[in-house]
Structure 1
Amino acid sequence: MHSTFYLPTRIIFGSHSLQKLSEQKLPGKRALIVISSGKSTRSFGYLEQVEKQLDAAKVSYEIYDKILPNPILTHVTEGAQLAREKGCDFVIGLGGGSVIDSAKAIALMATNEGNLWDYIHGGSGKGRPMTKKPLPIVAITTTAGTGTEADPWLVITKEETNEKIGYGNDDTFPVLSIVDPTLMVTVPPHLTAYQGFDALFHSTEGYLNKIANTFSDQYSLEAIRLIGKSLPEAVKNGKNLKAREDMAMANTLAGMVETFSGCISEHSLEHAMSAFHPELPHGAGLIMISKAYYTHIADHHIADERMIAMAKALGKSDATQAMDFVHALVDLQKACAVDELKMSDYGIKKTELAAMVKNARENMGGLFGVDPMTLTDEDCLSIYQKSFK
Structure 2
Amino acid sequence: MRHRFALATQFGRPACQLHRPQVKRSSSSSQAVLPLNNSPQHATTQIELNENAVDEVGVKHRRLIGPRTVVVSTPTDRAENPHVQRVLARLRGVGIECGTFSMLERYPTTQALDEGAQMAKRMGAHSIIGVGGGGALDLAKGMAVLACTGEGRARDYLRVFHKEKELSDQRLPVVTVPTTASAGGGGIGPQCLALYEAEEALVPLHARDLAPDLAIVDPTLTVTLPLQAERSMALGAWSVCFDALLCGSVRGVLANHAMADLILGGASELGRGLGMAAGNDKGETKRRHLAQGSVAAGRLLRLVKAPPIQSLARCLAPLFPLATYSQLTAVLLRSYLAVLADRRQQGELGGEAWNEALLLRMGAATCSARDGPGANGGGLLEMAEWAWEESQKAGLRSLLDYRALDKETKDAETLAGQVMSVLALFEVEGGPALEADVVRDVLEVSLGT
Distance 2:55 2:403 in 1: 39
Corresponding position: 1:224 with 2:267: yes
Q: Is the 8 A contact 2:157 2:206 kept in 1?
A: no
Q: Which amino acid aligns with 1:245?
A: R
Q: Give yes or no for the alignment of 1:369 onto 2:422.
A: no
> Deviation of residue 222 (structure 1)?
1.1
Whole-angstrom CA distance in 2 between matches of 1:117 and 1:184: 33
Give 1:148 shift.
4.2
Whichever residue aligns with residue 21 of structure 1, its letter is V
Inter-partner Cα distance in structure 1 for 2:77 and 2:446: 33
Q: Give 1:62's aligned amino acid.
A: G
- Determine the structure 2 residue equivalent to 1:200: 238
**Alignment equivalent of 2:330, drawn from 287, 294, 297:** 287
Q: What is the CA RMSD across the aligned residues, in angstroms? A: 2.7
Alignment partner, residue 445 of structure 2: 386
Contact 2:201 2:316 in 1 (8 A): no
| Compared CA separation, residues 222 and 282, structure 1 to 2 (3 A) | same
Q: 1:235, 1:92 → 2: CA distance?
A: 33
Equivalenced residues, count: 383
Gaps of 5+ in 2: 1-37, 369-374
Q: 1:241 to 1:341 in 2, by over 3 A?
A: farther
Give 1:253 deviation, angstroms.
1.3
Report the CA distance between 1:236 and its aligned residue. Answer: 6.1
Moved more, 166-175 or 263-272: 166-175
Residue type at the aligned position of 2:443: Y
- Structure 1 length normalisation: TM-score? 0.88
> Equivalences for 1:146-161 in 2 at 5 Å?
146-161=184-199
**Counterpart in the other structure of 2:156:** 118
One-letter code aligned to 2:229: L
1:331 is the counterpart of 2:368:
no
Distance of 1:137 and 1:325 partners within structure 2: 38
- Shift in Å, 1:104: 0.8
CA positional deviation for 1:103: 0.8
1:322 corresponding residue in structure 2: 380
**Counterpart amino acid of residue 410 in structure 2:** T
What whole-Å deviation, never above 9, does each CA across 1:137-156 have from its counterpart, x for those lacking one?
A: 11011110121432212221
Task: Measure the CA separation in 2 of the matches of 1:285 and 1:384.
Answer: 11
Residue 366 of structure 2 contacts residue 377 of structure 2 at CA under 8 Å; is this kept in 1?
Answer: no
User: Are residues 1:182 and 2:220 paired?
Assistant: yes
2:54 counterpart residue number? 18
The more displaced of 93-102 and 263-272 is: 263-272
Distance in 1, matches of 2:104 and 2:420, equals: 26
Deviation of 1:40 after TM superposition, in Å, equals: 6.6
Residues 245 and 359, structure 2, Cα contact 8 Å, conserved in 1 = no
Query: CA 1:142–1:10 in structure 2 vs 1: closer, same or farther (change >3 Å)?
Result: same
Q: CA separation of 1:142/1:320 partners in 2, compared to 1, >3 Å: closer, same or farther?
A: closer
Paired residue for 2:400?
Answer: 343
Under a length normalisation based on structure 2, what TM-score does the superposition of the two structures give? Answer: 0.77
- Residue identity opposite 1:4 in structure 2: S
- The question of whether the paired residues in 2 share the 8 Å contact of 1:30 and 1:89 is answered with yes
Instruction: Please state how far the C-alpha of 1:157 moved relative to its aligned partner.
Output: 0.8
Alignment of structure 1 residues 259-278 onto 2, 5 Å: 259-278=302-321
Match of 1:9 in 2: 45
- When residues 345 and 228 of structure 1 are mapped into structure 2, their CA distance, relative to the original with a 3 A threshold, is farther
Letter in structure 1 aligned against 2:416:
V
152-161 vs 199-208, which deviates more? 152-161
CA distance in 2, matches of 1:116, 1:281: 24
Are the equivalent residues in 2 in contact too, given 1:122–1:362 (CA < 8 A)? no
Moved more, 348-357 or 286-295: 348-357
Q: Distance in 2 between matches of 1:38 and 1:264?
A: 27
Question: What amino acid does structure 2 have at the position aligned with 1:192?
Answer: E
Choose the corresponding residue for 2:127, options 90, 103, 109.
90
- Within a 5 Å distance, the mapping from 1:58-97 to structure 2 comes to 58-97=95-134
Following superposition, the deviation at residue 30 of structure 1 comes to 1.1
Deviation, 1:205, is: 0.7
Query: Which one-letter code corresponds to 2:95 in the other structure?
Result: K
Task: Give the whole-Å Cα distance in 1 for the aligned partners of 2:66 and 2:423.
Answer: 34
> Is 2:179 aligned against 1:142?
yes
Matched, 1:257 2:300: yes
Report the alpha carbon displacement of residue 169 of structure 1 after superposing the two structures with TM: 4.5
Cα distance change, pair 31–362 in 1 and its aligned pair in 2 (3 A): farther
1:222 & 1:159 partners in 2: Cα distance?
A: 37
1:14 to 1:168, Cα distance in 2 relative to 1, 3 A:
farther
What's 2:76 paired with? 38
1:347–1:85: structure 2 CA closer, same or farther, 3 Å change rule? same
Change (3 A) 1:78 1:139: same
- The alignment partner of 1:314 has SS state of helix
Does the C-alpha gap of structure 1 residues 28 and 352 become closer, same or farther in structure 2, counting only changes over 3 Å? farther
Partner-residue secondary structure (3-state), 1:149: coil
Aligned residues of 1:289 and 1:383 also touching (Cα < 8 A):
yes
- Give 1:368 shift: 5.4
The alignment-based identity, stated in percent, is 19
CA distance in 1, matches of 2:231, 2:272: 13
Bigger Rg, which one: 2
